Every structure is written in C-alpha cells, then in structure tokens.
C-alpha cells in the first residue's frame, strides 16, 4: 500500500459510508520506474499503519510530511513559515531571492479531504525551482467540514492575494484532493465573475466526481471513491463541484500531470481533453509505471522531473504569458 493508498483507506474509515471491498486489480510490479522510485515506494509500503482515531491519523500524516518535507526544505534552502491569511491557516514557502513583487503560487494540498498530505512536500522543491513564494492553504477538513467550506477557505486566501498581486501574477495548483479543490476554486471564481489566475496546475485530480473512470477500477476502489464523494457533497453533479459538467470556456491555461498506475489517471486525462476541446491551452504529462501523486511522498529522478515540469509551466505563464 502506497502512502496515498493509505490515505484513501484513512478517508473511508473516517467516513464509513460504504462496506470495505477488495483492493485494486493485482498486477505485477512495474519495472519501468527508476531504482530510486522503486526503493521509495517499497519504503512507503513498509510504513507503520496510521492509528485508528481521526486525531491520530492526522498526526501520522503530519509526521510523514515533516519526515519527507524537512529534508526537501533543507535541500532547496526554502524557508517555511506558519501564518494566517484572511483568517485561514496557511504555510508560506519562500525560496532564496524571492521578490516581494514577484509572482505567487496558491497551493491546495492533497489528503482525501481528511488529512494534510502535501502542504510541505508539494511545495518545497517547487518554490525553489520557480523562485516564487507559495502560499499553501490549510483548509478545513472532513468529516467536520464539507463542501463548500474548503473552497471558501481557498477563495478567502485568493481574494487576499489579489489585493497584493494582480491575478495575472497568480497561479493555483493542487494534487489529488487539492487538484479537485483547485478546479472547484476556478469554477467558483468564474461563477462570481472574479479575476481568474494566470494558470492552473491540475495534478492527479478529478473534475467530475460522478465519473471516476477506468483507472479507479484498475488501481483504486470505486466504492471508497463513491463514499468519499457522498461524504464531501450532497450533489456531486453540480458544476461548482464537478467543473467538467459546466462550461470550461475561458479557463486559465492548465497543466495536467498524472502517472500510469494512478487511480485518478482517467479523471485527469478526461479533464485535460475537455479543456482542450473547449479551446483552453491544456497539456497532459504522464509518468510511466508510477502510482498516484508519487512526487508528494518519494524522492526519485521522476519526482525531480515532475517538479521541473511544473516549474517550467508556471514560469512560462507567469513571466512570459506563453
């Protein structure tokens, strides 16, 4: 079980709305990932399982964030500060030489809407590679908080940022649940006729909670996904929840990123294709043989390549507008 597979199990235990079912299709281990990636996945498989309580599971996830994230902060010489913005808890990442008037990235972390599984590990490298500050929104979590409360938190932070930076100097991105929230934030901004960010990073997410796709059957658990969807929102067909079901015209340029054994590969690809059909600049990058959101919890050449691709996309959009 990988780190993010464990998080899916955590989420189901926190919101037990469906019976447990058999795991994903049993496939032979992938041989295409690098030796470092295979070692990292094996190390995560060997982790001590999280405890049974919500508080214990969140502490477990935070401990993993610190274990993986602190060395990344040191490697990239990025400073992390705990703060609040618009009344919302945030982590701010500042790389060497970051300009006060430079572009800024708004991150929404992964973790199945129930834990923080990425507010450090998704941002340490990317801050350094772009040279931009990153504001990671530590939004309210399930089961105590459902849609739209996490999006409300993201919107509050985004509104605060646009008082300091023009929207064309802001990009929004997220991984897994954070990718879902990132798309929901853009949909909300459009609905309220607010200025859109210059770019969207949609990394291993879904923009249609009604349709998990074939990869969920192969590599995930459709019943768990359905249970999480019901726990998260009453109407998953609402375009504010599932933007793929609304108009995508005028969306910001989007980088979609996933991997060959990602249970959200189908959903990520479907969204990218729909954006392209709507005339939006959209590109999909796929890493062979790796599981869901691997860059957030293993250190490997593929992780470096994923962050490099993200950084090149954001720099091109925020510096050059290309």
Token duo for residue 5: 């597979």
CA distance 245 to 23: 29
Query: In 3D, which of 64, 72, 57 has the Cα closest to residue 3?
Result: 64
Residue 14 tokens, joined: 């926190």
Can you say whether the dihedral through the CA atoms of 194, 125, 142, 138 is positive or negative? Answer: negative
Contact indicator for 197, 170 with CB cutoff of 8 Å: yes
Selection from 170, 245, 166 nearest residue 200 by Cα? 170
User: How far apart are alpha carbons 92 and 83 in whole angstroms?
Assistant: 7
Query: 53: which residues sit within 8 A by CB, 6+ positions away?
Result: none
Q: Are 174 and 293 in contact (CB under 8 A)?
A: no
- Pairing state between β 79-85 and 104-108: unpaired
In the chain, beta strands by DSSP E: 79-85, 88-94, 104-108, 133-137, 170-175, 199-203, 254-261, 282-291
Give the active site residues: 176, 262, 292
SS3 label, residue 1: coil
Helices and strands, number each (H, E), in the chain: 10, 8
DSSP 295: G
Which H or E run contains 313?
A: helix 301-315
């Amino acid at each position: 079980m990988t780190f993010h597979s464990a998080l899916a199990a955590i989420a189901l235990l926190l919101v037990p709305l469906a019976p447990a079912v058999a795991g994903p299709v049993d496939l032979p281990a992938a041989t295409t990932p690098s030796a470092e990636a295979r070692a990292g996945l094996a190390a995560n498989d060997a982790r001590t399982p999280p405890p049974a309580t919500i508080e214990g599971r969140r502490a477990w996830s935070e401990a993993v964030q610190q274990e993986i994230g602190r060395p990344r902060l040191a490697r990239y010489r990025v400073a992390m500060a705990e703060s609040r913005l618009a009344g919302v808890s945030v982590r701010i990442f500042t790389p060497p030489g970051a300009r006060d008037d430079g572009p800024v990235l708004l991150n929404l972390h992964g973790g199945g809407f129930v834990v923080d599984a990425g507010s450090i590990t998704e941002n340490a490298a990317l801050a350094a590679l772009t040279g931009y500050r990153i504001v990671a929104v530590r939004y309210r979590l399930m089961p105590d908080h459902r849609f739209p409360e996490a999006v409300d938190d993201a919107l509050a932070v985004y509104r605060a940022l646009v008082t300091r930076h023009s929207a064309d100097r802001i990009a929004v991105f997220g991984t897994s649940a954070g990718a879902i929230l990132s798309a929901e934030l853009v949909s909300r901004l459009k609905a309220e006729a607010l200025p859109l960010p210059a770019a969207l990073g949609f990394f291993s997410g879904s923009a249609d909670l009604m349709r998990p796709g074939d990869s969920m059957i192969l590599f995930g658990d459709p019943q768990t996904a359905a249970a999480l969807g019901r726990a998260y929102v009453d109407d998953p067909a609402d375009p504010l929840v599932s933007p793929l079901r609304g108009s995508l015209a005028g969306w910001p340029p989007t980088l979609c990123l996933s991997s060959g054994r990602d249970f959200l590969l189908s959903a990520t690809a479907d969204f990218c294709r729909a954006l392209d059909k709507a005339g939006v600049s959209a590109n999909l990058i796929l890493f062979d043989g790796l599981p869901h959101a691997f860059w957030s919890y293993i250190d490997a050449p593929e992780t470096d390549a994923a962050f490099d691709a993200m950084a090149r996309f954001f720099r091109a959009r925020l510096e050059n507008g290309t």
